[in-house]
């Protein structure tokens, strides 16, 4: 299948790790992920009932994460990254790293990114199975959203 890019925005909050956990719950509940053992996007209403009955998706997020196929193929969603890095931690697979003001300035010429800067963020990705998180600001320069983005899956 190859890797898939993904991005999600949520209202700004001071704790990106809590936002990531809530986003995981939402994406799982919405079925907005690839179920590798069944070979289908869970929220795709066009998937025939017999295919869903063959290998139904897990009932809980913990079951999904524990599935062997997810470890190899991923979910092609933010569910493939498990936690936020703390400042100073080295990026590693299955983590999300905050975009720094210096990085933002390098790619956009400003440390206060807005939705208008989303098209330049891909240059900040470190690789497959890693995510980034950036604070997006409103017109007055106040934090408005947290935007998570990355790519994962095989």
User: Is the pTM above the cut of 0.85?
Assistant: yes
pLDDT number for residue 50 = 87
Q: Calculate what percentage of the chain has a pLDDT beyond 70.
A: 99
Output helix, strand, coil percentages for the chain, rounded to the nearest 5: 35, 25, 40
Domain boundaries, the chain: 4-152
- CA-nearest of 63, 28, 125 to 71 is 63
Q: How far apart are CA 125 and CA 40, in angstroms?
A: 26
Strands 34-35 and 40-41: antiparallel
Task: Give the confidence band of 53 by pLDDT, cuts at 50, 70, 90.
Answer: confident
Write the pLDDT tens digit of every residue in 1-17.
678 999 999 999 999 99
Residue-by-residue DSSP string for 69-104: HHHHH--SSGGG--EEPPTTPPP-TTEEEEPPHHHH
């Amino acid at each position: 299948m190859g890797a898939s890019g993904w991005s999600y925005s949520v209202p700004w909050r001071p704790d990106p790790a809590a936002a990531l956990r809530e986003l995981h719950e939402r994406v799982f509940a919405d079925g907005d992920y690839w179920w590798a053992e069944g070979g289908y996007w869970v929220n795709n209403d066009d998937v025939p009932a017999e295919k869903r009955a063959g290998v139904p998706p897990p009932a809980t997020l913990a079951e999904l994460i524990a599935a062997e196929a997810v470890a190899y193929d991923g979910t092609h969603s933010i569910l493939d990254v498990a936690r936020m890095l703390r400042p100073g931690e080295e990026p590693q697979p299955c983590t999300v790293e905050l975009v720094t003001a210096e990085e933002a300035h390098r790619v956009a010429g400003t440390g206060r990114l807005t939705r208008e800067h989303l098209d330049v963020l891909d240059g900040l990705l470190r690789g497959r199975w890693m995510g980034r998180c950036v604070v997006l600001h409103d017109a007055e320069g106040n934090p408005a959203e947290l935007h998570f983005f990355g790519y994962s899956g095989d």
